[in-house]
Amino acid sequence: MKRPALVTALVAAMLGGVLVSGAPAAERSAACTAADADVYTPPATVPSTPGTVLACRSVTLSQVPGNVAMSAWKVLYSSTDHQGRPVAVSGTLAVPTAPWTGSGSRPVVAFHPGTLGLGPQCAFSRQLAGAYQDEYEGDNIAALLKAGYAVAATDGPGYLDGQTHPYVAGTDSGHALLDIARAAPAVPGSGLSRQTRIGLWGYSEGGAASLWAAQLAAGYAPELNVVGDASGGIPGDLKEVAAGLDGSAFSGFLADAAIGVQAAYPALPLDSLLNDQGREAVKTAKSVCVAGTVTALAGKSIKDFTTAGLTLDQLYRQRGSDGRTWGQVLDAQKLGVNLGTYRIAFPVLQYRGALDEVIPTATEDAVRAAYCAAGVKTGWKIYAGDHLLTDNQAVGDVVSWLGDRFAGRTAQSDC
């Protein structure tokens, strides 16, 4: 499929309304007429009930190809961070205009985008609605809508004004994905049922987020009827991923991870460890999107940015004001552990590219093996592409797999 020019260039590079406290949600967003700025303004108060619609705005999704007839909204909704504190998160809801002809009510796919960068302009909801930077998953959204499914796509937390996206912070992203599924039926005009079947989907950063959502669903959102999760290109062990990224062509993603994890866990030291070059790198990473991140920070190492020339292992030993080290916090983001606690009662599809040059294939394979060992019914597929190409190559298979889950068909396990 045809990609925008900037995303094509990136592929080539890889290959070489304001909350009114106490008012019911339906009253606050009765006609989805919030100003665009209200969707990205942190409200003074966030309700403790996750999935509450705080503001919404009808939009046209110009970056979703295929001329799919739909109703679409930008949405601001409540979620919960890893400490249990209410937070507001932005996202997009899109519902096909064509009537649902399948059994039951129209299913919803909760979608988390892959890495888009830390700049506020990079938010998936902004880009889909026409403020294009370099998003690359419009085809994914189009395929779901053409299949008749509603799409609830979170931006992930931290894209509101004055915030920093907690990139690769697992619990925060998993909650945000589950909570936009909760919020979707409350958007006026969506026509969606709270009892409908829900699928989860994400790739790369989104793949980690959707697996976290799968792991957290039973305990955090037991009322949701989640029937399956598809996750690809999974950065399952952040330490292993960091070792591959440090000093590589994609070291900008390592900078994003350091900034994002510290945003979620502010007790960790970061600024105090940085030299002038490191502080400039942080400023750059917080202001650009994915292509800018890759090009501006390619080939850089953590040693270049720290006053003591720290290696990754030395960084992991740095202790925060709460007593936890960087290494301990990163280990807490690891996928495929504690699966006895994180009970998953629905099938999972995992996939990766044979030529993945961004995420070490060993960690992707290890997540799959851990799920299989825990008895999770796990499908598995390897595509011929590299990291970015695999995202697009898998679209048809993922939409078909989700369709089988919505239809109640038995999932195949490749364990």
Task: Tell whether 152 is covered by a domain.
Answer: yes
Partners of 169 in the beta sheet? none
Among 7-11, 100-104, 325-329, 361-365, the minimum mean pLDDT is found in 7-11
Nearest to 179 by CA among 44, 21, 46: 46
Residues 110 and 130 in one domain: yes
Contact 107, 185 (CB under 8 A): no
pLDDT at 386 over 50: yes
Q: How far apart are the first and last CA of the chain?
A: 32
User: How much is the mean pLDDT over the chain?
Assistant: 93
Query: What pLDDT score was predicted for residue 16?
Result: 39
Look up the CATH number of the domain holding residue 33: 3.40.50.1820
Residue 193: inside a domain? yes
Same-domain pairing of 229 and 376: yes
pTM, entire model: 0.93
Does residue 319 share a domain with residue 399? Answer: no
357 and 227 within one domain? yes
380 domain-assigned: yes
264 and 292 in a single domain? The answer is yes
Summarised one tens digit per residue, pLDDT across range 215-256 is 999 999 999 999 999 999 999 999 999 999 999 999 999 999
pLDDT at residue 207 tops 70: yes
289 contacts 117 by C-beta, under 8 angstroms:
yes
Token pair listed for 62: 């110009």
Which residues touch 201 (CB under 8 Å, ≥6 apart)?
Answer: 109, 110, 111, 112, 140, 144, 210, 229, 230, 231, 398, 402
Which of 306, 331, 356 represents a domain boundary (last residue)? 331
- Give the pair of three-digit tokens for residue 391: 């995202």
Is 415 a member of any domain? no
Same domain membership, residue 292 and residue 198: no
pLDDT tens-digit series, residues 248-265: 999 999 999 999 999 999
Q: Which amino acid is residue 182, in one-letter code?
A: R
Identify whether residues 215 and 282 lie together within a single domain: no
**Into how many domains does the chain fold?**
2
Domain assignment present for 413: no
Measured CA to CA, the distance from residue 247 to residue 314 in angstroms comes to: 16
Asked if 181 and 55 sit in the same domain, the reply is yes
**CATH number where 261 lies:** 1.10.260.130
Given 308, 331, 354, the domain boundary residue is 331
Asked whether residue 411 is domain-assigned, the answer is no
Q: Same domain, yes or no, for 67 and 161?
A: yes
SS3 call for 20: coil
Residues 271, 362: one domain?
A: no
SS3 track for 64-90: CCCCCCEEEEEEEEEEECCCCCEEEEE
Helix (H, G, I), strand (E, B) or coil at 30: coil
**What percentage of residues in the chain have a pLDDT greater than 70?**
93
Res. 140: pLDDT tops 90: yes
Whether 218 and 267 map to the same domain: the answer is no
Q: Same domain, yes or no, for 128 and 217? A: yes
Is residue 364 predicted with pLDDT exceeding 70?
yes
Q: Is residue 394 part of a domain?
A: yes
Three-state secondary structure string covering 230-253: EEECCCCCHHHHHHHHCCCCCHHH
* Range of the structural domain that residue 251 is part of: 238-331
State pLDDT tens for residues 29-50. Answer: 468 999 999 999 999 999 999 9
Q: Does residue 370 form part of some domain? A: yes
Q: Of 307, 331, 355, which marks where a domain is finished?
A: 331
What pLDDT is attached to residue 22?
Answer: 31
